[in-house]
Amino acid sequence: MSPIRPHEALAQAYAGITAAVTPLDDAGLQRPTRCRGWLVADLLVHVLGDAQRALVALASPVPGPADVDDVSYWRGFTPGDDDAGAKHAWWVRRSATAFDRPSGVVRIWSDTAPAAVRAAAAADPEGYVTTQGHVLRVPDLLATLTTEAVVHHLDLVLDLPDAPLPAADPTRVAVTTMDGLLCDDAVRPAGWDDHEYLLKATGRVPLTDRDRFELGEAAGWFPLLG
């Protein structure tokens, strides 16, 4: 299996989200998602914030070394932090309602996401950037953005049966992240496909009794990422 170039995986991840939301009218953008209390337009505002953060980070190189990589970065986010989650959810909802129509979010996303991808392609792959209080290598930053985009793409399509699912390459990046967060000797159940793994690893879908049996003690690590 050939290695995935980080900026190409991010490009595919963002293009997948664009393909899912561009055909939607305002009613479609108000369908529910897997993120509690968020409609499609709300979740798109959240992902838009990631693309904007990417632009700032990639335009602001810093000296190394990195203090986190594409896996350890996520360990600073505590699954089930209800207070922080509620505050951010409230901010996102208010930001989304500032648009006259939900489709306004799609227009800004469609401009911003490709710009973030272009910045990623132009960035020094040996360089370092800072975001959210951490220093990361450029490829690790891009992997974190890809992982978040893939997971939220799966969130977006909960009530959109005709929407495309995330592409294989960015999905593989997200799966690699979850494998890194899983304890060393644990193996995911053989019956899970990649998207099911991501949904269960992030707590979107609960573990079944059979899952817990197959995971053994590793079931206590779930969700791996909130």
The pLDDT of residue 84 is 55
Secondary structure class of 117 (helix, strand, coil): helix
Measure the N-to-C terminal CA separation of the chain; round to a whole number of Å: 29
User: Which amino acid is present at 137?
Assistant: R
The pLDDT of residue 26 is 95
Split at pLDDT 50, 70, 90, the class of 102 is confident
Least confident stretch, 67-71, 74-78, 150-154, 193-197: 74-78
DSSP label of 2: P
Secondary structure class of 129 (helix, strand, coil): strand
Q: From CA 25, how far away is CA 3, in angstroms rounded?
A: 37
Mean pLDDT for 179-199 is 91
User: Please, which residues bridge with residue 137 across strands?
Assistant: 128
Q: From CA 198, how far away is CA 155, in angstroms rounded?
A: 11
pLDDT tens-digit series, residues 49-101:
999 999 999 998 999 899 999 999 998 875 555 555 567 666 677 766 777 78
The pLDDT of residue 96 is 67
Examine the pLDDT at 14 and tell me if it is beyond 70: yes
Percent of the chain scoring above 90 in pLDDT: 80
> Biggest alpha carbon distance in the chain?
51
pLDDT tens-digit series, residues 118-140:
999 999 999 999 999 999 999 99
Determine contact, residues 159/33, Cβ cutoff 8 Å: yes
- Better pLDDT: 89 or 157: 157
The pLDDT of residue 76 is 80
Q: From CA 52, how far away is CA 222, in angstroms rounded?
A: 30
Least confident stretch, 17-21, 74-78, 128-132, 189-193: 74-78
User: Which amino acid is present at 57?
Assistant: A
Least confident stretch, 40-49, 97-106, 107-116, 150-159: 97-106
Q: Which domains does the chain have, with CATH numbers?
A: 6-167 (1.20.120.450), 182-220 (no CATH)
The pLDDT of residue 120 is 98
